Amino acid sequence: MPITLASIKHKLDGKIGENLTVVAQAGRKKVTRRRGTLKETYPAIFVVDLDQSENAFERVSYSYADLLAKSIKITFEGEEKAS
């Protein structure tokens, strides 16, 4: 079954409030890792409240298309790997 933006949103809707790690490509050879909590999902984006001890800002948002295009990867606590 092909993965769609709607199916990605549906999976994330069930994980609101859970802790996660987001690994994003920040450049050619640069990768950023951010830890936080999945706060909200919207029709086109989802919002992550970041761990304040590790980050300078409070929250960050990503689009479902980022997950579909594999420019970011999400790992929830207790899971090996999620997409």
Q: What is the pLDDT of residues 37-53, one digit of tens each?
A: 999 999 999 999 998 88
User: How far is it, in rounded angstroms, from Cα 52 to Cα 36?
Assistant: 9
Query: Residue 28 — φ and ψ, nearest 5°?
Result: -60, -50
Angle at 37 between CA 83 and CA 79, to 5 degrees: 40
Global pTM?
0.84
**pLDDT tens sequence across 18-77:** 999 999 988 888 999 999 999 999 999 999 999 888 878 899 999 999 999 999 999 998
Task: State the pLDDT at residue 24.
Answer: 92
d(CA 46, CA 80): 21
Percentage of the chain exceeding pLDDT 70: 93
